[in-house]
Structure 1
């Protein structure tokens, strides 16, 4: 029986790498799939991993209809055994419903990969719907680490080096490179404690070099 799988974790936990590996494993057994993504850091219609691996993909926008795409492909004589859906947190709740319908009505496996919550610590609509509908939900075992060494549980957004907790939900950026100039928009994984205190790696280093005490206030 086909299933809707949801693989989730913070940034740097290997979601896109696992998506590419999942596609490779199924394709190696003669199965035919389709790869989808949206707002990938490498550009439009590309699924990329921070390890440097890439694969062509179908770009998903808010108007994309998974059900119609798969039905049209099958009607035209194509073969579809599974779907790989990366960056699924950015899909609409209705698109997740479409993926569930593909699984139930067409018996096609769907493997979705995405982050649970945004930089404001709120669930993405797509991820929330996947939690509600997925047959299997898998939390990735590769733990991303906060700068302090604890397991990272939250995704932080920085703008010009300063952490922000307000703004547009979807803004493409990448994980900030330690030691380099702050990117205009970048992301960093933090433990809950340091996300609450807005204490990024750069700010922690600056505080450590300053005679001022750590900002332990609310």
Structure 2
């Protein structure tokens, strides 16, 4: 079976990082050699963490990291990559992932958000949609505060939905401070900036 590039996407809280760690576990159990990669994990550390308490060490994907060279430098051949927070990778790194699939037979499983807090595609996610052999919207149900399906990631600062600023600002979903955090909303409440009833 030939290698493939697969992109798993969805809003925050839909289980992307949990699935990433489960896939790594399943592949490793079958004797496959892989690497877990991430960019800007919510923990601030080079690891993949989940909101349900799972965590694993990972390689931090800095913007200047050449992923093809990373794989080539490994002491044994790599069978697969788990790429969490792939929406934060550079477009050049997404191209490198495609090269690893096509030229080295490495399976790549990328996980990330499709769109940012402005509801615009991340450049890396856009490229993944264009290049991936398969894309899967994750089906774990995420709800807006109103009970409708949560589809969009709102950036909240000081209790208000903001529409301007840097595309990438790391935050979590905990609203216990005035710092930046994110809240998944339905389209109606995202567009209206309404955080609660």
> Normalised by the size of structure 2, how large is the TM-score?
0.97
1:13-28 equivalences under 5 Å are: 13-28=14-29
Could you tell me which residue of structure 1 aligns to residue 54 of structure 2?
53
Which one of the candidate residues 115, 118, 128 is aligned to 2:113? Answer: 115
Which one of the candidate residues 125, 141, 158 is aligned to 2:139? Answer: 141
For 1:94 and 1:131, locate their aligned partners in 2 and report how far apart those are by CA, in whole Å. Answer: 14
Cα deviation, residue 173, structure 1: 0.7
Could you tell me which residue of structure 1 aligns to residue 160 of structure 2?
162
For 2:105 and 2:160, locate their aligned partners in 1 and report how far apart those are by CA, in whole Å. Answer: 47
1:38–1:44 Cα contact (<8 Å) kept: no
Structure number, greater radius of gyration: 1
Could you tell me which residue of structure 1 aligns to residue 182 of structure 2?
187
Superposed CA offset, 1:100-145 (max 9, x none): 0000000010000000000001000010000000001011011210
Tell me the C-alpha RMSD between the 2 structures.
0.9
Could you tell me which residue of structure 1 aligns to residue 4 of structure 2?
3
For 2:11 and 2:34, locate their aligned partners in 1 and report how far apart those are by CA, in whole Å. Answer: 26
For 1:200 and 1:165, locate their aligned partners in 2 and report how far apart those are by CA, in whole Å. Answer: 14
Could you tell me which residue of structure 2 aligns to residue 34 of structure 1?
35
For 1:72 and 1:35, locate their aligned partners in 2 and report how far apart those are by CA, in whole Å. Answer: 15
For 2:66 and 2:51, locate their aligned partners in 1 and report how far apart those are by CA, in whole Å. Answer: 28
Could you tell me which residue of structure 2 aligns to residue 210 of structure 1?
none
For 1:62 and 1:134, locate their aligned partners in 2 and report how far apart those are by CA, in whole Å. Answer: 21
Count of matched residue pairs: 196
Could you tell me which residue of structure 2 aligns to residue 97 of structure 1?
95
Cα deviation, residue 169, structure 1: 1.0
In structure 2, list runs of 5 or more residues that go unmatched.
Answer: none
In structure 1, list runs of 5 or more residues that go unmatched.
Answer: 205-218
1:190-209 equivalences under 5 Å are: 190-201=185-196, 204=197
For 1:46 and 1:24, locate their aligned partners in 2 and report how far apart those are by CA, in whole Å. Answer: 15
